[in-house]
Amino acid sequence: MIGSLMFALHKSRRDLLKLGAAGFVLAAIQPIGLTPVSAQNARVDVEQLMAEGALPDVVEGQANAPITIVEYASMTCSHCAAFANNVYPTLKSKYIDTGKVKYILREFPLDPLATAGFMLARCAGDKREAMIALLFAQQKNWAFVDKPLDGLSNVVKQTGMSQESFEKCLKDQALYDKVNLVRDRGAEKFGVNATPTFFINGKRVSGEMTVDQLDKEITPLLPKG
């Protein structure tokens, strides 16, 4: 599959989208109708949601924060980028940094290019979150260009990653498998079938959120007094 991933990334944006649409990377999220767990505002078991997965969660915020937000996102999803660029800064300053929320972003790639982006973020080690922020901020420079591999390489180089490390990361079969296992578990266990999908203390909220919508979801969950 790694050879297929590299082959896909060398193709044009148009061909890449065709591969994604054909289920090249993601068969698990093909629409099959909403199940109870995938309906808007449905609730999932928080203990299951927070169970250890194929890749370790990167938790932002205090471990004992009263509110836990898990976001399933795709690096090539424009709505995910809009949340990351326009809403997340408020989430961080108002809720994460003040100890009210702990936040976890999980991999849910919708196509081969998104898988590659997540792999590179994991290869960045403790710079994962900075890499994700950069890729979302510059999404149009790599996700929506005719030569996506070149675009992705050019953006990633801004973090100091060498071309050698870039190529080595994208050939890491074990990492590739783990990223997809995170995605598959989200689809199978929690009914994730679109991005972004948020679980706020176990409550499912699908689609891009504004700051006002975020406030409306969080405020009732804050401790009184």
Q: Is residue 113 packed enough to be buried (19+ CB in 10 Å), middle (13-18) or exposed (0-12)?
A: buried
Confirm whether 105 is domain-assigned. yes
Confirm whether 225 is domain-assigned. no
Which helix (H) or strand (E) segment holds residue 9: the answer is: helix 2-10
Confirm whether 138 is domain-assigned. yes
Determine the residue type at 99. Answer: G
Q: What are phi and psi of 115, to 5 degrees?
A: -60, -45
Residues 6+ apart with CB under 8 A from 224: none
Confirm whether 224 is domain-assigned. no
Q: What are phi and psi of 203, to 5 degrees?
A: -85, 130
Q: Round to the nearest angstrom and report the end-to-end CA distance of the chain.
A: 54
Do residues 72 and 79 make contact, with C-beta atoms less than 8 angstroms apart?
Answer: no
Range of the domain at 44: 2-218
- What is the count of structural domains for the chain? 1
pTM of the model: 0.87
In tens digits, the chain (225 residues) has pLDDT values of: 555 566 566 665 555 554 443 333 333 333 334 445 556 778 999 999 999 999 999 999 999 999 999 999 999 999 999 999 999 999 999 999 999 999 999 999 999 999 999 999 999 999 999 999 999 999 999 999 999 999 999 999 999 999 999 999 999 999 999 999 999 999 999 999 999 999 999 999 999 899 999 999 999 999 986
| CATH classification of the domain holding 214 | 3.40.30.10
Confirm whether 99 is domain-assigned. yes
Residues 6+ apart with CB under 8 A from 115: 5, 25, 109, 176, 179, 180
**Token digits for 92?**
């961080």
Q: Which residues pair with 73 in a beta bridge?
A: 107
Do residues 27 and 198 make contact, with C-beta atoms less than 8 angstroms apart?
Answer: no
Q: How far apart are CA 79 and CA 73, in angstroms?
A: 9
Confirm whether 223 is domain-assigned. no
Biggest CA–CA distance in the chain, Å, is 57
Q: Which residues pair with 105 in a beta bridge?
A: 71
